[in-house]
Amino acid sequence: MRPVAKRLLFVTIAFAGIALSQPRPAASPAIPRLAGGKPDFNGIWQAIGSANYDIERHMARPSLMLRKGPHGPLPAIPLLRLGAVGSVPGGMGIVEGGKIPYKPEAETKRQENRDNWIDRDPEVRCYMPGIPRANYMPFPFQIIQNPKQFFIAYEYAGATRDIYFKDPGPPETDSWMGQSFGKWEGDTLVVDVTGQMDQTWFDRSGTHHTNQLRVVERYTMTSPNHIRYEATMTDPEVFTGPWKISLPLYRRMEADARIMDFKCVEFVEELMFGEFRRKPLPRHEQPTQPKQEQPK
């Protein structure tokens, strides 16, 4: 054998030995599938994180509503008594690129919404959350699926979605949860959501949209117990271009996992309608009367 050929053979064997000695990555476990071969998303899922407070990357702040203080922002008066319960935990954000591309006037409205959060956030009054917010609120949701149907039931406010696989045409009217039309791209379920009302927000930080919002969701099962959730938003009325969020959804693993009853409308009836009682209850704390000193 010629010297050059010997050297080439030696190098080939050496590299082959290195390759064989490297630990191979463990193969990802096979995802569950329905009888027809599509991924089986049946189960109870939930997001983890602070996205419902603010989907953009953010530092912790002392309150959902702020006012100027002598040494920095302080909680606004309506939230002062909540203390740490009314604060906002920090978060790395789920918006790809970091920022929502609001037009200047829409960014101004967002700040106004944040300054008046307690009066404007639809979550405060138990309005249904819309898409995509329903998927990362701190409540579980259940997917019920068969080869021809895909249904999502949310714990929050008893909201539901029926994802159609036959194009129903344009929505007849706007609604809180919109109209969902799905199709499969390989193992990914792609859902086109239109016809949402303009009263839903993306989180608690005033992130608004109009009824021109279009959301394209992508559900991809990456393991038996994880879904990669992506959603791309377009709304030419308030955004300068499309933008995207992505986050994992986790399967609830408890043996007795289920969605509970959280139909919160009755919880806010006093807030919204209590003043119309025949004999209204007090709407504000009554001032404490000073104790009268007993005569000596």
Q: How far apart are CA 176 and CA 197, in angstroms?
A: 5
Average pLDDT score over the chain: 90
Amino acid 156: pLDDT: 97
Strands 179-185 and 160-164: parallel
Amino acid 283: pLDDT: 82
Amino acid 177: pLDDT: 97
pLDDT at 288 over 70: no
Amino acid 20: pLDDT: 45
pLDDT at 13 over 90: no
Residue type, 65: M
Choice between 281 and 203, residue whose per-residue pLDDT is larger: 203
- pLDDT tens for 96-124 read 999 999 999 999 999 999 999 999 999 99
Amino acid 218: pLDDT: 98
User: Residue 230: phi, psi to the nearest 5?
Assistant: -130, 145
Burial class (CB in 10 A: 0-12, 13-18, 19+), 140: buried
Q: What is the pLDDT averaged over residues 171-179?
A: 96
Where b means 16+ CB within 10 Å and e means fewer, 41-74 reads bebbbbbebbbbbbbbebeebbbbbbeeeeeeee
Percent pLDDT > 70 in the chain is 86
Amino acid 294: pLDDT: 65
Instruction: State the pLDDT confidence band at 27, using cuts at 50, 70 and 90.
Output: very low
DSSP bridge pairs for 147: none
- pLDDT tens for 216-246 read 999 999 999 999 999 999 999 999 999 999 9
Amino acid 293: pLDDT: 65
Amino acid 18: pLDDT: 42
Instruction: State the pLDDT confidence band at 284, using cuts at 50, 70 and 90.
Output: confident
Q: What is the pLDDT averaged over residues 15-31?
A: 53
Q: What is the pLDDT averaged over residues 21-41?
A: 75
Q: What is the pLDDT averaged over residues 172-197?
A: 97
Amino acid 50: pLDDT: 96
Amino acid 26: pLDDT: 44
pLDDT at 47 over 80: yes
- pLDDT tens for 67-81 read 999 999 999 999 999
